[in-house]
Amino acid sequence: MKARSLVFDLFGDYLRYRGGEVRLRHLVALMGWFDVPEATVRVVVTRLRKEGWLSSRREGRETVYALTDAAWKLLDEGRDRIFNRARGPWDGQWHMVLYSVPESERGVREQLRKKLAWFGFGPLSASVWLSPHDRTDLVREAFAEEPAVRLDIFRSRSVGLEADRDIAARAWDLGQLDRDYAELLHEYRPRLSRYRAGGLGGSDALAERMRLVQDYRRFPFRDPDLPPELLPEGWHGRQAHEVFLEAHGLLRGAAEGSVDELIGADGPVAEKAG
């Protein structure tokens, strides 16, 4: 597990509910359970602070770290994509984004493509991306202050369901995604009985839960959360999501208990609203 991702995951799943801040020595101890040395933790938090993702303050002789507003927003967006799925029937409309970025702004173009994929859009062609969900406002907001990006937004219907399925198959590699979901199920579904029986406790439960999040978190970047009628037969994505949610919930008590045992002696650093 990457140290940088671990910091965000610890804040997102644990520290946000324990004051929203953490003393450096406690973060070092938590990261140590994942074999991340103290020197690496110090380097990572320094970089995250310079990049604007972490803020720091002094409390006596100790340094206390917290996520910035920009980091909380990113974390909340990611949490929504990981834990939630689209509900209700599809209205049959595709939401399309056509973009234009100057050749001299290749970095901006790559950032735009990554953001479109994160919002669940897929490339029908190089500069035409689409989604069955209306998330175009998110795209507009993300690049509202980027003058190099020109966006044209459309809504459209195809000639029918067969065409819609063909569009989905061309815009996303659903076959590979389904195989990866099946692999995740193969790994974690057999473990549920042990989780239900409370077979993991303390730092072992925390480590297992963090690995689960790390293993699952890559899927929202790739899965457009398509309506059922556009998915291949035997799709494993919904089952994988259900197994993830159950496993994440079953490991919660023991994992949170291990965090409380480590940092609870001093109590929360501060209370974060919300």
Q: Over the stretch 188-223, which tens digit does the pLDDT of each residue have?
A: 999 999 999 998 888 899 999 999 999 998 898 889
State pLDDT tens for residues 125-160. Answer: 989 999 999 999 999 998 998 999 999 999 999 999
167, two tokens = 């569009």
Rounded Cα distance, 119 and 139, in Å: 8
Distance between CA atoms of residues 201 and 209, nearest Å: 11
At 206, list the tokens. Answer: 């925390």
Q: For residue 270, is pLDDT > 80?
A: no
- What are the chain's domains? 3-73 (1.10.10.10), 94-156 (3.30.70.240), 172-260 (no CATH)
Average pLDDT, the chain: 91
Compute the distance between CA of residue 2 and CA of residue 4 in angstroms, rounded to an integer: 5
pLDDT average, residue stretch 172-178 = 96
Tokens at residue 30, please?
């938590």
Better-predicted residue by pLDDT, 204 or 18 = 204
The average pLDDT across 12-33 equals 90
Give the pTM: 0.85
pLDDT of residue 266: 53
Q: Residue 267: is its pLDDT beyond 90? A: no
User: Quick one: average pLDDT of 36-63?
Assistant: 94
The closest alpha carbon to 139, from 227, 86, 77, belongs to: 77
Which of 4-8, 40-44, 267-271 is predicted least confidently?
A: 267-271
pLDDT score of 2 more than 90: no
**So what's the pLDDT on residue 262?**
85
